[in-house]
A = this chain, B = another copy of it.
Amino acid sequence: MLAEVITVGDELLLGQTVDTNSAWMGEVLASHGIAVHRITSISDQANQIVAALDEARMRVDLILMTGGLGPTRDDITKHALTDYFGMELRMNEDVLKGISEWFQGRGLPMLPVNEAQALLPDGCSVLHNPRGTAMGMWFDAAQDGRPQVVVSMPGVPYEMKGLVEEEVLPRIISKWKLPTRYSRTVLTQGIGESYLSEIVHDWEEGLVQRGVSIAYLPAPGQVRVRLSAVSKREGDARQSVDAAMDEFLNLAGDHVVAQADISVAEVLVEMLAQRGETLSIAESCTGGAMAASVTSVPGSSAVFEGAVVAYANAVKIDMLGVDPVCIKQDGAVSESVVSAMADGVRTRMGTTYALATSGIAGPGGGTPDKPVGTIWIALSTPGGTEARCLKFGSHRGRNVQRTVLECLAWLLRKVRAV
């Protein structure tokens, strides 16, 4: 089965917005055995939408569109599709009620342009979007007896994702009676894609014959690995994938930090919660990003007490009890200071574990002795305190992201080993 993605919006062509929706949809569709044949980005113009649709309909079974459903006049996708399919806009009272409740819930007045979002093409199936005021639309576009579907969704990523998961995928699976697909994803950390594929090379060679496919999904500092198989009977795919995954876990060993498709922070929060243990954090160069990563996990309040972002040295001294002499002698980016930060926050917040960071995130601030990307991290536990020095590049955001990941994975391995 083939699909195409069409993303609509002048902002995509002007480069004001990077299209992340297409990659997300490509991955989700691929995991269900649907190949994306082409991705097309076009402007907010009816003739462009019509041309792109006509072309895509000659090639594939399913067309997913995002964008151009907002309330302003440059958003014309809904009108273009209504005309294209020879339909009429009609007020959908259920949707109107939902939108008006959406505004009431936020204590905001509903404007005429928002009311107009409940005007929907009379021949489409409305896909309910509880996260916003633009509904999704499912058009049955069958031609010459061949099933074909065009779906239009808002371009806001989290609204689109909710619609795909809750409305679009279930309909696709039931309409095309897709074969059962079973897949498992694990999270590895601290090892590059090429090094990882080297370790599992011989094993990977034999996968195809077993009907199992492997995908490496890299992100800074981590690689997700997905094994999947397709079968007529549900049990068969599962059995093949489970057997292959056991072998992969053996080969990858400690590099695997989570046996599911979740973040390191999620694994950590879950594990600490199970053990009834707690965490505090002292951050200098990561500037709050580590606390933000942990607290992005719902339920993290059960294990996370708090953090001190000690950007200024005075804060390291006053709020964490770091010895000013250490800072003077060794500098703020040093083993002694980062260890004292971890110990200080663990003592003051009374937690089982504490993590700390102090480094030069960049792009400025480096010295010959401590170049940009030099980052000290420390882990304080009931059994003692350890510190490590990381050496990254000069990209501020990436340095922060990788340091946070390195710290959380370090604690994760430590807790597991206890």
Contacts and interface: CB of A to CB of B under 8 A. Distances in A.
Interface of A: 10-20, 22-30, 35-43, 48, 52, 55, 70-74, 105-107, 111, 113-114, 131, 156, 158, 193-195, 197-198, 204, 214-218, 224, 226, 281, 283, 286-296, 298-301, 304-312, 314-315, 318-319, 348-350, 362-364, 391-393, 395-398, 400
B287 A309 contact: no
A416 B137 CA distance: 45
A37 B13 contact: yes
Nearest to A55: B55
Nearest to A70: B193
Contacts of A318: 348-349
Contacts of A214: 74
B71 A298 contact: no
B194 A72 contact: yes
A39 B23 contact: no
A195 to B, nearest CB: 7
Given A292-B292, A307-B307, 16 more contacts: A13-B35, A13-B37, A15-B36, A19-B23, A40-B41, A55-B55, A71-B194, A72-B197, A72-B216, A74-B216, A111-B194, A287-B294, A287-B304, A299-B364, A301-B312, A315-B349
A308 B304 contact: no
A13 B41 contact: no
10 contacts: A16-B27, A17-B23, A19-B39, A39-B40, A74-B214, A106-B391, A287-B304, A288-B292, A298-B362, A308-B319
A113 B204 CA distance: 15
B111 A198 contact: yes
Contacts of A294: 287-288
A365 to B, nearest CB: 8
Point out which of A37, A158, A287, A304 has the most chain B C-beta atoms below 10 A from its C-beta: A287
Contact of A22 (B15, B73, B306): B15
Contact of A306 (B309, B393, B397): B309
Contacts of A304: 287, 311-312
Chain A interface main SS type: mixed
Given A14-B27, A15-B24, A19-B19, A309 B295 contact: yes
Contacts of A226: 14, 16
B296 A309 contact: no
Contact of A41 (B39, B48, B315): B39
Given A113-B194, A393-B105, A287 B298 contact: no
Contacts of A319: 306, 308, 319, 348-349
Contact of A16 (B73, B218, B315, B348): B218
Contacts of A36: 13-15
A301 B311 contact: yes
Contacts of A30: 13-15
Given A13-B26, A26-B15, A111 B195 contact: yes
Contact of A43 (B37, B72, B73, B74): B37
A195 B294 CA distance: 35
Contact of A395 (B105, B158, B306): B158
A10 B71 CA distance: 35
A281 B13 CA distance: 38
B307 A312 contact: no
Contacts of A131: 393, 395
A119 to B, nearest CB: 14
Contacts of A74: 214-216
A418 B212 CA distance: 65
A195 B300 CA distance: 36
Nearest to A316: B306
